[in-house]
Chains A and B, each alone.
Chain A
Amino acid sequence: MTLAGAAIVALAVLLVAALVFGGLIVGGRTVRRAREARRAKLAKPARQLLLAIAAGDDDPDQVEALVRLSDEVWQAVEPNAIALLGKVRGEAHTTLVDVFERRGAAWRARSRLRRRDPVARAQAAEVLGNLGRKDALLPLCDLLGDPDPDVRVVAARSLGRIGDSGATQPLLATLASRRMVPQQVVATALTRLGPAAQGALLASLDDPRAPIRATAAEVLGLIGAAGATVRVESALRADPSIDVRISAARTLGRLGTRTALAPLLDSLEPDRPVVLRAEAAKALGELGAVTAASALTVLLSDIEYVVAHNAARSLLRLGGAGRAALTAAEHRAELEPDDQRVLLGAAHAREALAAAELEDLRQLAR
């Protein structure tokens, strides 16, 4: 074969390959669109029923009609049903759960938790969480170690929705695992477990792993565990991890108990890390203790911007006494115009008072 002949054959092969490849893409899209159109057509009448039930209609005939849908139609409408199940609460949620249970969705979801497809595993975990199935606790805890990070996140959220305090330790353990779950997801899930998780959270403050102690300290504040104050105070004073101490300061502010005042004031000392001093200054505002006003006023002149800024905002949160301290700090600049520290404090005071005035004006203009 000549060179020209070989080139023509090669071109022809390339052309055929391109045509086949293009055909496959177009064909694949057409099939997908046709499937989607068929799904939408099948789902349409059932979707109206689903919306009525999700809207809170507990008409037994409508519930029965949804329960008796053929498997083919249910499969078409199931993605919408799963989505709505997680977004409504009250009677609407209860009725939807009833429909899912009667259709055997929990049993099917459990059998899908071990599917090879991570999307199927995640959907199954989501359904079990939305149904609030306490008997799914163990398989969902196992799923916290799933190789797929998205599946782990869905499992953590579902454990939060189920609300069984038995999930506390497994959720915390993921923070130190090679297959970890983001801290915010874990904290949100733990918060949903509520006061029943308090014992396990308190015990976790002694865990050797800092991320676990820090998250436990944080969540104790989020669930309002006032009984944990003494232990959290000692974490603020003595924990070797700065992250744990910061979480402890934030939690003490949230819990709002008077005994927190002393350890928080102690955390303001100049030899403490800046991030801790800043968090403690903020927490004192949350705590709302007027007796902290003098310590916060001193911080207005702090060389660290974030410490002085948080102190000024906390003074605002203390109400009349705090505003009076800010006004006094602002006026002090007129008396001592050459003192740089006084000027610094006055500037922070002015900024906070201006922000407060702006907010007042916005409220009035509304």
Chain B
Amino acid sequence: MTAILVADDDMDIRDLVAFKLEQAGYDVVAVDNGLAALTEATQNPPDLVVLDVMMPGMSGIDVCRQLRQDAGTKALPIILLTARAQEGDVEVGFGAGADDYIVKPFSPRELVSRVEAVLARMRT
């Protein structure tokens, strides 16, 4: 089963994303901070990571950069989930190595489609 790591400090969003992805047939591990996401992704690399950008301590951008620097997680597909929609914010997200960028408020159905698209792109 395809494994997805979800990191978001907002419990409602974390549970919603996990719920929707599990409903779509994915195996989901959810954590509530950047450091836990980095540890989990390094120790048990998933098939894809969904990261909230604004997390206390280590942000999603920081986690993304660190994952891209580690040989074991360098190629992990990463989707950033964020309330920051300015052009510059999107640039920073992609500059950090994200494969896709979803802005809140988001459509849960669209999230699943984006996950499928990124995974399909990685397989080809």
Residues of A within 8 A of B (CB): 47, 51-52, 54-56, 80, 83-84, 86-93, 362, 366
A56 touches B10 (CB 8 A): no
**A83 touching B12 by the CB < 8 A rule?**
yes
> How many of chain B's residues touch chain A, expressed as a range?
10 to 19
Contact of B105 among A52, A80, A86 (CB under 8 A): A86
Q: For the complex formed, measure the closest distance between the CB of B31 and the CB atoms of chain A, giving whole angstroms.
A: 18
Q: Complex: how many Å from CA A86 to CA B12?
A: 11
Interface residues of B (CB under 8 A from A): 10, 12-13, 15-16, 19-20, 23, 68, 95, 97, 104-110
Is the pair A88, B19 in contact by a Cβ cutoff of 8 Å? Answer: no
A54 to B111, CA, bound (A): 13
A194 to B26, CA, bound (A): 38
**A88 to chain B: which residues have CB within 8 Å?**
16, 105-108
12 more A-B residue pairs beyond the given contacts A55-B19, A90-B109, with a C-beta to C-beta distance below 8 A: A47-B15, A55-B20, A56-B108, A84-B12, A87-B12, A87-B106, A88-B106, A88-B107, A89-B106, A91-B107, A93-B105, A362-B95
Interface pair A87/B104, CB less than 8 Å apart = yes
Across the interface, do A87 and B107 meet the contact criterion of CB distance under 8 Å? Answer: no
Given A83-B12, A87-B13, verify A54-B97 contact (CB < 8 Å): no
In the assembled complex, the Cα of A56 lies from the Cα of B16 at a distance in Å of: 10
Across the interface, name the chain B residue whose C-beta is closest to A222.
B86
Do B107 and A92 touch across chains, with their CB atoms under 8 A apart?
Answer: yes
Q: Name the CB-closest residue of B to A88.
A: B105
Q: Do residues A55 and B107 form an inter-chain contact, with CB atoms below 8 A? A: no
Q: Which residues of B contact A52 (CB under 8 A)?
A: 19
24 pairs, CB–CB < 8 Å, chain A vs chain B: A51-B19, A52-B19, A54-B16, A55-B19, A55-B20, A56-B107, A56-B108, A56-B109, A83-B10, A84-B13, A84-B16, A87-B10, A87-B12, A87-B13, A87-B16, A87-B104, A87-B106, A88-B106, A89-B105, A90-B107, A91-B107, A91-B109, A362-B95, A366-B97
Closest A-chain residue to B97, C-beta based?
Answer: A366
Q: Which residues on B sit within 8 Å (CB–CB) of A93?
A: 105
Is A55 within 8 A of B16, CB to CB?
Answer: yes
